[in-house]
Structure 1
Amino acid sequence: MTGDGTIPDGTLPAGTVVLIGGRAQREFTLLHRLGYRILHLDRRVPLHCMPWADMPVDVDVDDWDLVLDVVRDHLGGSAPAAVLTHVEPRIPLMAHLAGRLLADRPGLSLQAAWNCHDKWRSRTRLREAGIAVPAFGLAGDADEAVRIARDIGLPVVVKPRDGAGAFGVRRCLSAQEVHRAASAVLADPGPGTRAGVLVEEYVEGPEYAVQTLTRDGRTRLLSVFRQHMTEPPVFVEIGYEHPSGLDRDDEAALGDLVTSSLAALGVTDWISHTQVRHGADGFRVVEVNARRPGGRLVEMTAAVCGVDMTRAVSQIALGLEVTADRPSATHALYSSVVFDEPGFVTYHTGIDVSDHALPPIVEIEVAPGEPVLPADHPEGGVYGRIVAFGHSAGEVADGVGRIRKALGLRVSRLEGLAWQEESDSREFKSCC
């Protein structure tokens, strides 16, 4: 073995984690701090990720047999310490590789991965288990989508069969809107997407994001956030708050519903991010995701319960005990940076947040002077986030307000930034 830990022929030793996809440095840093090396696989490993991995490898991640061969080649026939991904489309591949290379390791099975990733399969399994979900149907073409919508009753929601972050999701009020939305999804479903478009009942009511940790079939609720969205027809997350506003009985019922859903889908050792609507007839499960939430909901969850979901899923994949810290806050408020009009954004950089009792999160993902588009534009959506932590609703609301005032976000409206009113919504930027 050489001084950098590699074997002379270019393979990596045991103690290596296979990480599929990934964009955030912390995903890599956590594994290194736990004492493991990283074989990073992606269709095209981003340049900024290369210094974080011990061996970055470009590979066609849609060719599962090829990926398995690449892993075996680079590990010299040894089993990896774990196979892990934080990227929604690669979760089934992760489960497949883990099943082939680490058959006895607790984690997410391939069946459970598909049960969560495939929205039609999720709803079918949950309905068979007697769990409340919106009425739904799977269409192979736009005409069939219209027939399903008429059977369910308008309005309905049209969405890709798989995917994440509300991409391609649209509420439709008429048959014409259903046909147009379904045609858009079917024409450009994205790589690796399963055939068909999902048409489901639109459930009017508040939405909740529920984060959980399941070990040995026992599920623990980590956080319940009240979720705020843009007004339909498209769905962009504009904020979250903790506590959720649910009373103790409703939150217990919500926890029981999510626990039963995970059991029905076969999730016995993993984390999850589940979205639930509270309609006129009670809670209905909208989506169950076998992954951590996006945006900064991981940090919100860690603040209010002490469990870092990125670290927790890494520990589960490695067969380690899940560790937790002390919660630092009882309240948290998440406010997405979105805009109502197109134009060029200006704001103050380097604002001082030292007067906040608990350090807030302030992220703006567009530089001053760059163009922005409204939340309801196909290429607009979320341009950043502000998250404040504290010990009362007033404290966190005041924290977000002070940060927004200090930033002084402004948009200068200029001509020439018009958009097409009937664009496909699949490219909406969202966080979760």
Structure 2
Amino acid sequence: MPEPSTPATGSVVMLGGRSEREFGVVRELGHRVVLLDERIPWHCMPWVDAHVDIGLDDWDAVADAIREELGGERPAAVLTHTEPRLPLMAYLGRLLTPHSAGPDEEAVANCRDKLRTRTVLEAAGLPVPRFALATTEHEAVAMASRIGYPVVVKPRDGAGAFGVRCCTGEAEVREAFGALGGFVPDGLPGALIEEYVDGPEFAVQTLTRGGTTEVLSVFRQRTTPPPVFVELGYEYPCGLDAARREDLDGLLRNTLDALGLRDWISHTQVRLGAEGFRVIEVNARRPGGRLVEMTTAVSGVDMVEAVTRQVLCLEQPPPGPTVPFARYTSIVFDEPGTLLYDAFVPDGEGPGSPVVELEVAPGETVRSKEDPQGGVYGRIVVYGESTDELDRAEQQVRRALDLQVVFGDGLEPAATDSREFKSCC
């Protein structure tokens, strides 16, 4: 097993994880990595110092396994970058590492349960869409009528816009509620019925230390029109004027304070409607896709390193260099078919180089962006000194890729698609 780059000063217990960067930061900071998961992927083995194959649903059994693995020594911290494991992280943190920073169990529950999020924020006088909980189809229709159409139907937890649908009438509410099929597996019971806020959406990334929140990035988010919300991309700068931006920053600080998220990161979605900003989602995690790298580029702060230092009670380094303009474009398709494309080879490497990521190989089938089983198949991220420079950089990537969706003789799109989410965030 490779040795850490500096002498170990304790073990960091990590709950799940798939990214080399997540483990590498811990080792760069001089700690051993002990990975716990139900099935440890082979590709993760070289990145960790020890691993324990164990189901993570029995929390006390997990705590006992950690004690046994560490020989009774307290871990330096317990950390996860996986949102479903945040409740376990908070529990183990209280039990095994009371000295460590990080979210507590109440704050995690306030963020993961969308009903709790809205209830807490409403009680604090903060702006959220009108909402109600429905546990039956009859309740869903009644709540939608009371709130007023259009409404959004969504599960109480989950991510990536899974199961989220905008409805303009009773029949659509019944269909959307039924499509949840018992809701998200292992999720919270019931579905949220809430007011649809018509207006631009913003993705806001933050780092909170000791109750003081720093807004790292604000991206203007682009999605498909209702009824589904497939992520089309993000823009930086976000287009808000100074006064609006000040209002948004203040709203984020008040929101995280009300939810009790005092020492952690967050990815929050906010819409600007006719009555001002409304908080749509608060996620106690970093964003998905490539928004972490994009945040690093525009703020100089690496959220993976920042949250690792946070739980280890280490000082944050000064911000690195930044770029003035950035664009994230999802790779989506208007029609289904077989995807053909060429490889993209960037001219160079570095913070300003384009990022191109495709999740399907040439010759595989894709669905349209509006298809319930379709959505995002990859992403292109470009940086520059102006919007014109972003346009040129993105067009250069697209010309090199030469994306084409074609049909062969008698070939139809695959009947099923195993990808879980329609968006990254």
When normalised by structure 2's length, the TM-score is: 0.94
Corresponding residue to 1:177 among 147, 152, 172? 172
Corresponding residue to 2:359 among 340, 351, 365? 365
Corresponding residue to 1:214 among 208, 219, 223? 208
Q: 1:357 to 1:52 in 2, by over 3 A?
A: closer
Q: 1:221-240 maps to which residues of 2 (within 5 A)? A: 221-240=215-234
State the 1:362 CA deviation. 1.1
Provide the residue aligned with 1:10 in structure 2: none
Whether the aligned pair in 2 keeps the contact of 1:112 and 1:266 (CA below 8 Å) is yes
Q: 1:14 to 1:144 in 2, by over 3 A?
A: farther
> What do residues 134-172 of structure 1 show as CA deviations (whole Å, max 9, x unaligned)?
011111122211111111111111111111111111111
1:428 aligns with 2:421: yes
How many Å separate the matches in 2 of 1:355 and 1:60?
A: 40
Q: 1:60 to 1:206 in 2, by over 3 A?
A: same
Provide the residue aligned with 2:401 in structure 1: 407
State the 1:87 CA deviation. 0.9
Q: 1:39-78 maps to which residues of 2 (within 5 A)? A: 39-78=34-73
State the 1:328 CA deviation. 2.9
1:280 counterpart letter in structure 2 = A
1:95 aligns with 2:108: no
- Note the residue ranges of structure 1 that are not aligned, 5 or more in a row: 6-12
RMSD of Structure 2 on Structure 1 (CA): 2.3
State the 1:57 CA deviation. 2.2
> What do residues 115-148 of structure 1 show as CA deviations (whole Å, max 9, x unaligned)?
1111100000000000000011111122211111
Provide the residue aligned with 2:116 in structure 1: 121
Q: 1:163-312 maps to which residues of 2 (within 5 A)? A: 163-191=158-186, 193-312=187-306
Whether the aligned pair in 2 keeps the contact of 1:135 and 1:152 (CA below 8 Å) is yes
Q: After superposing the two structures, state which structure 1 stretch, 309-318 or 138-147, moved more.
A: 138-147
State the 1:405 CA deviation. 1.4
When normalised by structure 1's length, the TM-score is: 0.92
Q: After superposing the two structures, state which structure 1 stretch, 131-140 or 142-151, moved more.
A: 142-151
Residue aligned with 2:180, SS: helix
Residue aligned with 1:187, SS: coil
- Note the residue ranges of structure 2 that are not aligned, 5 or more in a row: none
Q: 1:110 to 1:166 in 2, by over 3 A?
A: same
| Alignment: residue pair count | 421
Whether the aligned pair in 2 keeps the contact of 1:168 and 1:428 (CA below 8 Å) is no
Q: After superposing the two structures, state which structure 1 stretch, 175-184 or 234-243, moved more.
A: 175-184
1:144 aligns with 2:139: yes
Q: 1:310 to 1:380 in 2, by over 3 A?
A: same
> What do residues 92-131 of structure 1 show as CA deviations (whole Å, max 9, x unaligned)?
1111111111123222111101111111000000000000
1:78 counterpart letter in structure 2 = E
State the 1:54 CA deviation. 1.9
Whether the aligned pair in 1 keeps the contact of 2:344 and 2:397 (CA below 8 Å) is no
Corresponding residue to 2:22 among 18, 27, 30? 27
State the 1:356 CA deviation. 9.8
How many Å separate the matches in 1 of 2:238 and 2:257?
A: 24
